[in-house]
Amino acid sequence: MIRLPSLPTVPQHSIRAPRGHGQFLIEPSWEQLGVDLQANRVEAAAHRDYDIQGQSLGELSADARRGLLAEARAYTACYRDGPAPGPADGPVVLAGHQPQLFHAGVWFKNFALSWLGRAHRAAAVNLLIDNDIHRLPSLRVPTSAAGQVTMTTLLFDQVTAAIPYEERAILDQATFASFGRRVQDALQGLIDDPLIVQLWPLARDAAQRSGNLGRCLAEARHRLEGEWGQQTWELPLSRVCQTPCFARFTLHLLANLPRLHQVYNDSLTTYRQANRIRSRRHPVPDLEQEGPWREAPFWIWTAQSPQRRRLFVRAAGSRLELTDRQRLHFPLPRYDAEAAVTQWVERQHEGLRLRPRALITTMYARLVLGDLFLHGIGGAKYDQLTDGIIARFFGFPPPRYAVMSATALLFEDRTESLRAEIRGLQQQLRELRFHAEHHVRPSQAAERLAAEKRAWIQTDPPRGQRATRHREIERRNAELQPYLAVDPNQLTHRLNQARSELRQEVQRASREFSFCLFPAEVLQPLLRSAEARVCASAAGLP
């Protein structure tokens, strides 16, 4: 299905995942995406002179893109071939996600990124958002036991403290190596030839070159995409954050933190009001202020102590002082941008990590790195808020972005038929209880009780005696139960069965199963169909 694009003021629920197997979401239409891509390039030229700490936004963007593409080509070339380089000044399209075994609907976005790049001769780069937290190294896998489908959780590494993906090494090589076989064993009898059979040897191969858990998962998935003909580059966000261009952009935000702080929190208030959100921590918490220290929308940690902490900043004379309000504290020049950028990059090489939170990540990607950003559903909802921050802080309209997702079901979805059956059974039981006279076997006793009930219904007792009429009607309903032609106990038994089946089917019908659990013969036709439909849409065909 193709939907119209949503505006920043549209409530959150306006962007919904497609429900049926093989349905996909593209906002705006594929044809409109090309228009938005060109419109973003034209609008970026109109405000290219915006000053970013002594460098124009246009110059910063050009430098950042050259660095991005060079880094992405070099990174990707370590394990697979990438697409042929396009024009030096050609468009750049971006997407991003954590380096994990995400569900098939998220994977669709990676294929759409490749199609979009090919259609518009654009460099297509997928950012690995490795500054997010890696929590549990596990996957939810369906398995069959005693004729019942249940869910089991399989580990692909040792459980440890939750730290950012970029710091998370593989701790248990044996558990990692055996994961593919264990998943395949769990799926036996349910799924024949799941993609994990092709994916995990690639992940094991990646582990020979990199000890980083997330990068091994991402590399294996990206190599599989290459075998399926997709032409994209990939690059960890941590590499982007170590560049002078990112340092300059961040320093601009920190140098103007009092204004950013107010814009950020005011935009949050507007967003919550528009979306009727009461929680002060949703979609993200307000930035705090403690005396002269203002919280900045960044994380900070060190390689030696990789727990993310909030960044606080204050202006002190000619310096900006940065701290986590615990052990880390360091100054940067406030008015000498070049010196500040140099010191920032040096600190990065020494093991300091300063990383953007979600809204700043996509702000930088959209304003500096690319011409069009492809979001999933969650990211698109967040970036309705980012739009407001960009417009208020920078003073020009935010670039347009796209929303893409799909639904692929690992099992047939029986939930709607079961819900319909449950509703029908509940209605039947209600009918037998309150209108038993319509469902009894013919007998004099039943006819007598039905007549007495009708007589009580037709009475119009005065106020104060209506409870007596109600009790008498209820008594006749109860006395009619032995004469029913249908056994309510059988209906109740089936109702309980259907409810139990529904609880299982809700798990089976989830769209959240990882792409690596699907057989290729399920996902490849879905993706080919999607590609054909979007290409037809772009060409204006029915």
pLDDT at 541 over 60: no
The pLDDT, as a whole number, for residue 509 is: 82
pLDDT at 423 over 80: yes
Query: Same structural domain for residues 167 and 62?
Result: yes
529 falls in which pLDDT band (50, 70, 90)? confident
pLDDT at 390 over 80: yes
259-271 per-residue burial string, b: 16 or more CB within 10 A, e: under 16:
ebbebbbebbeeb
Query: Same structural domain for residues 141 and 202?
Result: yes
pLDDT at 356 over 90: yes
For residues 38 and 300, give the distance between their C-alpha atoms in angstroms, rounded to a whole number. Answer: 36
Query: Same structural domain for residues 542 and 431?
Result: no
Question: Before 482, cis peptide (omega within 30)?
Answer: no
Mean pLDDT of 5-28: 67
Answer yes or no: is 320 within a domain: no
Answer yes or no: is 329 within a domain: no
174 falls in which pLDDT band (50, 70, 90)? very high
Query: Same structural domain for residues 486 and 529?
Result: no
CATH number of domain containing 115: 3.40.50.620
The pLDDT, as a whole number, for residue 538 is: 57
Rg (CA), the chain: 30
The residue among 541 and 193 whose pLDDT is bigger is 193
For residues 375 and 94, give the distance between their C-alpha atoms in angstroms, rounded to a whole number. Answer: 9
The amino acid occupying position 456 is W
Query: Same structural domain for residues 459 and 487?
Result: yes
Name the residue among 202, 494, 263 with its Cα closest to residue 392: 263
Query: Same structural domain for residues 384 and 485?
Result: no
Beta strands in 213-336 (DSSP E): 233-236, 289-290, 293-302, 309-316, 319-323, 329-333
Q: How far is CA 176 from CA 130, 170, 206, 211, in A?
A: 19, 8, 11, 11
Mean pLDDT of 25-32: 89
The pLDDT, as a whole number, for residue 6 is: 34
pLDDT at 13 over 70: no
The pLDDT, as a whole number, for residue 275 is: 86
The pLDDT, as a whole number, for residue 150 is: 87
The residue among 310 and 459 whose pLDDT is bigger is 310
537 falls in which pLDDT band (50, 70, 90)? low
The pLDDT, as a whole number, for residue 412 is: 82
pLDDT at 42 over 90: yes
The pLDDT, as a whole number, for residue 72 is: 97
Answer yes or no: is 314 within a domain: no
* Token pair belonging to 82: 């990438």
Answer yes or no: is 471 within a domain: yes
Q: What DSSP character marks residue 167?
A: G
Lowest model confidence (mean pLDDT) among 68-72, 153-157, 533-537 = 533-537
Residue 93 domain boundaries: 1-300+357-413+513-542
Q: Express as a percent the part of the chain with pLDDT over 70.
A: 96
Mean pLDDT of 262-291: 92
pLDDT at 434 over 80: yes
Query: Same structural domain for residues 363 and 496?
Result: no
pLDDT digits (tens, 9 = 90+) for 108-163: 999 999 999 999 999 999 999 999 999 999 999 999 877 778 899 999 999 999 99
pLDDT at 265 over 80: yes
Answer yes or no: is 328 within a domain: no
β-sheet bridge partners, residue 403: 27, 375
For residues 217 and 260, give the distance between their C-alpha atoms in angstroms, rounded to a whole number. Answer: 36
Q: What DSSP character marks residue 91?
A: -
The pLDDT, as a whole number, for residue 542 is: 41
The pLDDT, as a whole number, for residue 7 is: 34
The residue among 309 and 533 whose pLDDT is bigger is 309
Mean pLDDT of 163-191: 96
Query: Same structural domain for residues 397 and 502?
Result: no
Number of domains, the chain: 2
Query: Same structural domain for residues 98 and 6?
Result: yes
Computed over every residue of the chain, the mean pLDDT equals 91
pLDDT at 5 over 70: no
278 falls in which pLDDT band (50, 70, 90)? confident
> Cβ(247)–Cβ(55) under 8 Å?
no
CB-based contacts of 311, cutoff 8 Å, min separation 6: 295, 296, 298, 299, 300, 322, 323, 324, 354
pLDDT at 17 over 90: no
Answer yes or no: is 340 within a domain: no
pLDDT at 296 over 70: yes
User: DSSP secondary structure string, 195-248?
Assistant: THHHHHHHHHHHHTT--BHHHHHHHHHHHHHHHTT---EEEEHHHHHTSHHHHH
Answer yes or no: is 37 within a domain: yes
pLDDT at 290 over 70: yes
Answer yes or no: is 352 within a domain: no
Query: Same structural domain for residues 371 and 238?
Result: yes
Query: Same structural domain for residues 452 and 520?
Result: no
Query: Same structural domain for residues 484 and 535?
Result: no
